[in-house]
Structures are given as structure tokens and as C-alpha cells.
Structure 1
Amino acid sequence: MVMTNYMGLLAQNQPWNLILFMVVPVVLAESLVATEFMMAYRGPENAGGWKSWNHGLSILAGVYFAGVVLYLLTNVVPGITWKGWADELAIGAYLLGIVPFGALALMELGVIGKGLEPRKRLLHHFGWLVVFLIVSHVAMVFGMVDPTITGYKPAPAMMHQMDGMPMQHDGMQHNMNGMQK
């Protein structure tokens, strides 16, 4: 099976790429969801420590993800050989995560949404979190797709046989018996 560049990036440099590009952003998003729920339950005016956690997590998520996106745009994306539209959609959706995370950070830094009353501010926060969860799930789903089912055709020299099943393996050709093909 051929992997998208999204999955290839997560699979490289184990476990660090998986942690840095998937685990940390997802933990930040899920932690924000938890603090948002608590703030909604208690009311934004009575949220106490949950509001402080939410404030810090929002800024951290925006700054962290901005760093990730900057790194990917300067060091990874320019060298990508695209493997069809699913691959492009997965990477594009992942990179779009900076919009909602950036908006949350900018809200907490007072750059946008300053005049919003507490209830509206909470709704905006929820809205941006929903947007992040949507784009991140689109990235994950399409990142797991075998790009050959969306039209990508790998170079024949990159295929090898494993018990009768063609598999791609970074340009190396071999079979399970250790004999060169």
C-alpha cells in the first residue's frame, strides 16, 4: 500500500513526528474542548480556574501550531511530490488548522474579539474549536487513504512483491525470500 505524504511524515522519525505533529495539537485541542465545556457549564462569568486554563491553552495552541505550520511550509512542503488529490487535501487541511488555532490565540491576546460579551466570546471559542476539529479530522481521514484509489500511480520501479501483494518501499525492490527481483 502506498502512503500519503501526511502518513509518511507521521511515520518518519518515530515517535517524534507523531508526537510533535499529531499528539501535541490533538491534546491541546481536546484540552481546550474540556475547558470550554466547563466554562459553558459554569457560565463564563463563574468559570474561575477553567477560564485561566482556557486562556493559556488557547495561546499555547496558537503559538505552537504556528511554529509547526512554519516548519512544515519551509522544510517539508517545498520538497513534496504530491500523490493525488487525497494527499493534497490531507496536507492542506492540516495546514489550515492554523486559522482556528491562530484565531483562538489572537482572541486571548486581545487582538480580535475584544468587545465581545462573555457568552458571545465563548460561542466564538467553540466555533473556532469546531473548525479546528473538522480540518484536523479531514486531514487524518484523507491522510490515511491509499492515494492509488484516488488516481495516483506510483512508478513501477517502486513496487515489489510480498506474498503476491504489490507493496511500495521507498524505491527498493526485494521480496520476502531475500532474493533480488
Structure 2
Amino acid sequence: MAMTHYMELLAVNQPWNLILFMAIPVILAETVAITELFILFNRQGGNMLRLINKTAGIVGGVYFLGVFLYLLQSAVIPLTLSGQWRGPADVIAVGFYLAGVIPLVGMALLDLNIIGKQRDENGKLKLHATFVAIFLVVAHVAMIFGMLDPNLLMGAPSSQAMPQHSMH
């Protein structure tokens, strides 16, 4: 079966690409998401949770900005210039993966008090939670389209059909 560049990136150079491009960003983002829930439901306590949340947000944003710049230079620009995209699913998967830089850097900037200075604590929590939600959406869209056979959205038959199994 043909693979999107997203899936190919994660599949080659095992386990390093999987760790660098998926595990580290997802673990940091999930740390932010989980601690965010506890912070939102228990606003009085949890200084350690707030520190973990803030640290994961800053590290995640800075780290993913590096991933974004690296992949833009080493993959997106060369693939675009050479016309080697594997169809719409490929572009959607890579595009949404890289779009994760917007909410992750936004979170980092908020945690560094570079943006949102005029917001009160509640306003900052809402903006932070919004960045988390946006990241979760773009990351899942990237994963879904990244796992597709890129030929499916091009109208061409897949290179290998999966056998159909009955429910019985």
C-alpha cells in the first residue's frame, strides 16, 4: 500500500523518527491537556500541576517550532518544488501536522507571558484551553489523513486491496 509522507516519516529510521516527530510532541501536548483539565476543575490548588503544565507548554511550543522549521526546509519545500506530493491526503496530513505549530507556539507565548498580558487569570485559562483544543484537532486530522492510502483521494485504485472479512 502506498503511504503518505507523514506516515513514511514516522516509519523510517525506527525508532528515532517516531520518537522525535510523534512521541515527544504528543507526550508534551498530552501532558498539557491532562494537567489543564485538573487546573480547570481545581483552580485553587496545584502549584506543581501549574508548573508542569507551563513547562510542558513552553518546551512543547519551542520544540515543535524546531520540528516545523526542520520539516519545512527538509521536506515541504523540496516536495513542493519537485512536485512529489502523493495527492490530497498527503498534503492534508503534512499540512495539519505542521499546523500544530500555531497552537503549540501560542501556548508557549502565553506561558512566557508574551501574549495575553491584558487577560485576567480566567481569560488566560480559556485561551490556553483553546490552544490545547486546536492542537488536538489538527493533530488528529493529521493522523487520520496520514494513515490513509494517498491514492484514495485521487480517484485511482489502491495499489493493494485489503481482503474483505465477514462479521461471522
Name the TM-score, length of structure 1 as normaliser.
0.81
Flag the structure with higher helix content.
Answer: 2
1:83 aligns with 86
1:35-83 Cα offsets, whole Å, 9 max, x none, are 111111211x533111111111111010000000011011122232101
CA distance in 2, matches of 1:78, 1:120: 37
Specify which structure has the higher proportion of strand: 1
Comparing 52-61 with 98-107, which one deviates more in the overlay? 52-61
- Runs of 5+ consecutive residues of structure 2 not aligned to the other structure: 162-168
User: Equivalent residue for 1:2?
Assistant: 2
Aligned counterpart, 1:173: none
Look up the equivalent residue of 1:79 and give its one-letter code.
Answer: P
Question: Residue 31 of structure 2 aligns to which amino acid in structure 1?
Answer: S
The residue type equivalent to 2:47 in the other structure is: G
1:63 corresponds to = 62
Structure 2 matches for 1:147-166, cutoff 5 A? 147-151=150-154
Identity of counterpart residues, as a percentage?
Answer: 44
1:82-107 C-alpha deviation (Å, 9 max, x unpaired)? 01111000000001000000000001
Q: How does 1:11-90 map to 2 (within 5 A)?
A: 11-43=11-43, 45-80=44-79, 81-90=84-93
Structure 1 gap segments, 5+ residues each = 160-164, 167-181
How large is the Cα RMSD of the aligned pairs? 1.7
Query: In the alignment, does 2:108 pair up with 1:105?
Result: yes
Q: List structure 1 runs of 4+ shifted beyond 6 angstroms.
A: none
Structure number with the bigger relative contact order (C-alpha 8 A, sep ≥ 6) is 2
Aligned residues: 156
Structure with larger Rg: 1
